[in-house]
Amino acid sequence: MNEIKIKKGNAFQDFYPDDVAHCYGCGKLNEYGHQIKTYWEGDETVTKYTPKEYHTAIP
């Protein structure tokens, strides 16, 4: 099994192959998805997200 080394500054999602990159939450190929990115901060993973206007139900 090949191990992927995630370097500091790279999001986990940057390594997803295109055939699974349409996820609504984190898919880089989903234009209207959330575009979530997850990074290492020390021993923890952190995801920060700011919704776009079209992701909210009430203006």
* 35 closest CA partner among 22, 46, 45, 53: 22
Predicted local confidence at residue 29, as pLDDT: 93
Predicted local confidence at residue 3, as pLDDT: 52
Which amino acid appears at position 7 of this protein?
Answer: K
For 6-52, how does the pLDDT look when each residue is reduced to its tens digit (9 = 90+)? 556 789 999 999 999 999 999 999 999 999 999 989 899 999 888 88
* 19 closest CA partner among 27, 11, 7, 8: 27
* 31 closest CA partner among 19, 16, 21, 20: 21
Predicted local confidence at residue 9, as pLDDT: 76
pTM of the model: 0.69
